[in-house]
Structure formats: C-alpha cells, structure tokens
Chains A and B, each alone.
Chain A
Amino acid sequence: GAGVSQSPSNKVTEKGKDVELRCDPISGHTALYWYRQSLGQGLEFLIYFQGNSAPDKSGLPSDRFSAERTGGSVSTLTIQRTQQEDSAVYLCASSLGPTPDTIYFGEGSWLTVV
C-alpha cells in the first residue's frame, strides 16, 4: 500500500472489554513498531518487531497488552480488560529495515475507554 494503514481509526469501548487494533505496514517493511500517545503527551514505546527475530516487548505496560505479527506483515495489538487509563492514540510505524532506515507512521487508532 501507499503507507502504513491502521484500523479502526476510532474505537470507543466499555471498561473491561477487550479490543484489537490492526496495523498494515508498508509492503516489504521488515520492522514494525507500536507506540502509545496520550493526549498532549509524547510517544511511549510498546513493542518492536524486526523480521523473524523475537519481538522487543519491554514497553508493554501490563500483561493485559499483547501483540503479534503474522507472516511478517500485519500486526495486531490486543488490550484485554480495558481500563480508562488505556485511552490514548495507538500509533504503528514501519521501516524497510532496522534503524537508521526511515520510519513511517500510520494515522493511529484513537481508543476511548468509557
């Protein structure tokens, strides 16, 4: 595709429900990143996938958060038993290879937990 695609763009969910956020990276990009951005805040690292290597999960805030990347392409970020503090924009980014290759961000998925 032309860029990194994320879905849904907006999601409102009730506290305690599970949500799945999807990221389609640019075709051929081996590196994929998930970041979280709360309103007016910076970019909080969540997880990083690089090729077939084990992902760097060091940024996941709790065991309610998990992510997978199937076939080295599409990635899904799952948040179980959502809490109000999970409300944020979840940004996905991809790059052709590991840094210093340029990374490209998606438009983000805005999650609101009510």
Chain B
Amino acid sequence: GENVEQHPSTLSVQEGDSAVIKCTYSDSASNYFPWYKQELGKRPQLIIDIRSNVGEKKDQRIAVTLNKTAKHFSLHITETQPEDSAVHFCEASRGGGNKLTFGTGTQLKVEL
C-alpha cells in the first residue's frame, strides 16, 4: 500500500517569511495530492491540491509542486501570517476509489 512521509514535524517561521513542507510517497500509481490544514480543535480542511498531470499549482500565497519522478511534493506558503499557524497534512492517493493515506502532519507556527 501507499506510504507517505512528511517533514518537518514542526516548523516555526517569522511572520512574512516563507514556509515549505515536503512529502514523499511510495506508490508510483498515486495521482492525486491534496494538502489539508487543521486548526486546533477544528476539522481538517482542503487548502490546495494537485493532480499528476501538472507540476505546479498556485493559489494566492499557497503553492504546491510535484515531482513524479522523485515521488515527492511540497507545500509552499509565502508571506506567512499568524492565521497560517495550524497542523498541515499532505495526502496521496490513486483515485477511483481507494483509501486516503495522509502524512503525519507538520505543526506550523508563525511568530510575530
């Protein structure tokens, strides 16, 4: 089955700096790679996703890059703000009816 590793487990940045979180996956057939944000005591919510037919996707301050050859994908947050502070999870799946495999999460803290 799929195995997803996520690094770092914790990340502290100063407000306005950039943050990068990386995930690697094992199943070369995986083709869908979303990122979720979970604020303390809240439900995880999708913030951005990418499919295997593209290498990068951007939505305002958030971007995701995918390297299928190396089997890794990354979340990039620019101009970080305090409200970015949360646990961020990556996920990889084949699509078409399979269980979802999540990374172990990154606790992002944006300091003033």
Binding site for B on A (CB under 8 A): 31, 33, 35, 41-43, 45, 48, 50, 53, 56, 58-59, 91, 98-100, 102-103, 105-108
B46 adjacent to chain A (CB < 8 Å): yes
Q: Which of B12-59 contact A (CB under 8 A)?
A: 31-32, 34, 42-46, 49, 51
Interface size on B, residues (CB 8 A): 25
Partner of A102 from the list B42, B46, B101, B104 (CB cut-off 8 Å) is B46
> A56 contacts B44, CB within 8 Å?
no
> A105 contacts B45, CB within 8 Å?
yes
Q: Complex formed: what's the CA distance from A50 to B96 in Å?
A: 10
> B44 contacts A98, CB within 8 Å?
no
B93 adjacent to chain A (CB < 8 Å): yes
Most buried by B among A48, A50, A100: A100
Partner of A91 from the list B44, B94, B103, B104 (CB cut-off 8 Å) is B44
Q: Complex formed: what's the CA distance from A50 to B95 in Å?
A: 12
> A99 contacts B103, CB within 8 Å?
no
Query: Closest Cβ of chain A: how far from B35's Cβ, in Å?
Result: 12
Interface of A is mostly: loop
**7 interchain residue pairs of minimum CB distance:** A98-B97, A100-B32, A105-B43, A42-B104, A43-B102, A99-B95, A99-B93
Besides A42-B103, A100-B34, A108-B43, 15 more A-B contacts (Cβ < 8 Å) are A33-B99, A43-B44, A43-B89, A45-B99, A48-B99, A56-B99, A59-B99, A98-B95, A98-B97, A98-B98, A99-B93, A100-B31, A100-B32, A102-B34, A105-B45
